Amino acid sequence: MRENERADYLIVGSGLSALVFGALMAKDGKTVYILEAHEYPGGFGHTFTMAKKYHFNAQLHYVWDCGEGNTVNRVLKQLGLDKNITFERYDLNGFDHMHIPGYSLEIPSASDELAKQLSALFPEHTSHIQGFIQAVQKVRQGLKCLSPPMRPQLLLKQLPVALSASPLWQHTPDVFDEYQLPEAAQTLLALQWPDFLLPPEQLSFYAWVILFTGYQEGAYYPTQHFEHVINSLVGSIEENGGKVLTDTEVTEFLVERRTVKGVKAIDRRSHETCVFWGDRIICNIDPKKAASMIGLHKFSPSVQRKLDYDYSPSNFMAYCAVKDLDLREYGFGPWNTFHSEDVDLNAAFKRMYEENDFSRPSFAITTPTLLTTAKRDYPEDCQILEFLTVANYRYFDELQKRDRKAYNRKKEEILETILNIVERDYMPNIREHLVFRITGSLTTNERFCRCPQGNS
């Protein structure tokens, strides 16, 4: 068994949070070791390469808070990486393009423009729409006071105003209804449900406001793709004497007198067992999973109660490459596309998630190669296209264990249905140009991101 020198910070898992925290500590002169089970660092944000030439990011599509003075920018400045990691803004006139039967809406950054466009679609509801947009802005202002740096005076002033616009516990459709928005307008506004992997009826209005207005204020994509962000953070840790050890799976937490002091890990390449010690151990893996490895009985009843949470739903993904076809000529560009065959998103979600029926799906389309002009070693004339929707873990897990072929067929069936819709509504000839396709379910997430039940 190999023993390693002691680190100031020993971090389990190399998700984005671990890499950012590790980079900040390493820059501050601390010894940082990060242990990652997968062959790539980055967790949900890792990039993988297929057929030696197509690069796909596992889950990240767009990020907010990257503008000058915002959180991401401030952290990158602190790390001296703000000139190296830059971001491209999604189209300000429409960062999310929404399509449902009978209606389309391009969500603009400016709220007054959004009110104008919605009013043009639903002229008899203009005053309701304006009232709703004003309420969203009020809530947004209030919520901003809760994000760091906190200013107590502002908090006292803004938060009651925000709370008066909508009580904390309300779900999104309740607020939509309160402002008498017509069903189709509600659907267009809630169509980025795949960002939450929750249907509107289960989504807190506050969560919706944070995401919707967060992207309105700036939806960004890294100029040199997410892989460069991850690699730069890893590089920063290593330049400052730290280590990010991939293919190193933590199998045991070493506890002395009620405190985790170190971990045992397997080097997945050499199969050697290694021991790592740290003055502080940081867990960037699922807390419930880590606690069960440590022994749930070792935690106080109140912590045990906190650990007794359900896992969130997660997603079906299809990663594709098209050749000799410019997606820009078919309505794609620096934006995401959200599509639903059903105006009732709660019903669409239920059908897919609870009944595993994808015949009338609601899904997202992303086109990462259109989000930046930076060159990358993609084959010439190829563009990347990704599809995402919700899926049920238990169903896919059982299917995979029972009948591997049926599992693959189900994934293919979902992609085929989506491709039929894409051919019907967007690109009549997409199948002729599809040179690569691979599908992933929640069990894929579980395998590669090591998230229990493939949760998001």
Ligand X SMILES: Cc1cc2nc3c(=O)[nH]c(=O)nc-3n(C[C@H](O)[C@H](O)[C@H](O)COP(=O)(O)OP(=O)(O)OC[C@H]3O[C@@H](n4cnc5c(N)ncnc54)[C@H](O)[C@@H]3O)c2cc1C
Nearer to ligand X by Cβ, of 176 and 363: the residue is 363
CB of 284 to ligand X, least distance (A): 5
Q: How far is the CB of 415 from ligand X (least distance, A)?
A: 16
- Total binding residues for ligand X by CB under 6 A? 29
> In whole angstroms, how close is the CB of 449 to ligand X at the nearest point?
5
Residue with CB nearest ligand X? Answer: 15
Give the per-residue contact string, 58-97, with ligand X (x = CB under 6 A; - = no): -xxxxx----------------------------------
Q: Which is nearer to ligand X, 117 or 456 (CB)?
A: 456
Q: Which is closer to ligand X, CB of 314 or CB of 383? A: 314
Q: Which of the ranges 13-21, 399-407, 423-431, 433-441 carries the binding residues for ligand X, by CB under 6 A?
A: 13-21
Least separation in angstroms between residue 71's CB and ligand X is 12
Name the minimum Å distance from CB 121 to ligand X. 26
Which one, 285 or 415, has the nearer CB to ligand X?
Answer: 285
Of residues 207 through 266, those in contact with ligand X by CB under 6 A are 249-250
Q: Residues 9, 11, 14, 128: which binds ligand X (CB under 6 A)?
A: 14
Give CA–CA dist 296/289, Å, rounded.
Answer: 10
Nearer to ligand X, 44 or 330 (CB): 44
Minimal distance, residue 165 CB to ligand X, in Å: 26
Binding mask 295-324 for ligand X (x = CB under 6 A): -------------------xx---------
Residue numbers 421-450 binding ligand X by CB under 6 A: 449-450
Among 7, 10, 11, 16, binds ligand X (CB under 6 A): 16
Please list every residue from 20 through 39 that binds ligand X, using CB under 6 A. Answer: 35-38
Number of residues that this document lists for the chain: 456
Class of residue 68 by CB neighbours under 10 A (exposed 0-12, middle 13-18, buried 19+): exposed
Q: For residues 125 and 446, which CB has a smaller minimum distance to ligand X in the complex?
A: 446
**Minimal distance in Å, beta carbon 146 to ligand X?**
19
In terms of CB distance, is 23 or 63 closer to ligand X?
63
- Residue span 41-60 as binding mask against ligand X, x where in contact by CB under 6 A, dash where not: --xxx-------------xx
* 3-state secondary structure labels for all residues of the chain: CEECCCEEEEEECCEHHHHHHHHHHHHCCCCEEEECCCCCCEHHHCEEEECCCEEEECCCCCECCCCCCCHHHHHHHHCCCCCCCCEEECCCCCCEEEEECCEEEEECCCHHHHHHHHHHHCHHHHHHHHHHHHHHHHHHHHHHCCCCCCCHHHHHHHHHHHHHHCCCCCEHHHHHHHCCCCHHHHHHHCCCHHHCCCCHHHCEHHHHHHHHHHHHHCCEEECCHHHHHHHHHHHHHHHCCCEEECCEEEEEEEEECCEEEEEEEEECCCCCEEEEEEEEEEECCCHHHHHHHHCHHHCCHHHHHHHCCCCCCEEEEEEEEEECCCHHHHCCCCCEEEEECCCCHHHHHHHHHCCCCCCCCEEEEECHHHCCCCCCCCCCCEEEEEEEEEECHHHHHHHHHHCHHHHHHHHHHHHHHHHHHHHHHCCCCHHHHEEEEEEECHHHHHHHCCCHHHCC
For the CB of residue 335, give the shortest distance to ligand X in the complex, in Å. 13
Interface residue with ligand X, options 158, 216, 400, 456 (CB under 6 A)? 456
CB of 47 to ligand X, least distance (A): 12
Contacting residues toward ligand X, per CB under 6 A: 12-18, 35-38, 43-45, 59-63, 249-250, 284-285, 314-315, 449-451, 456
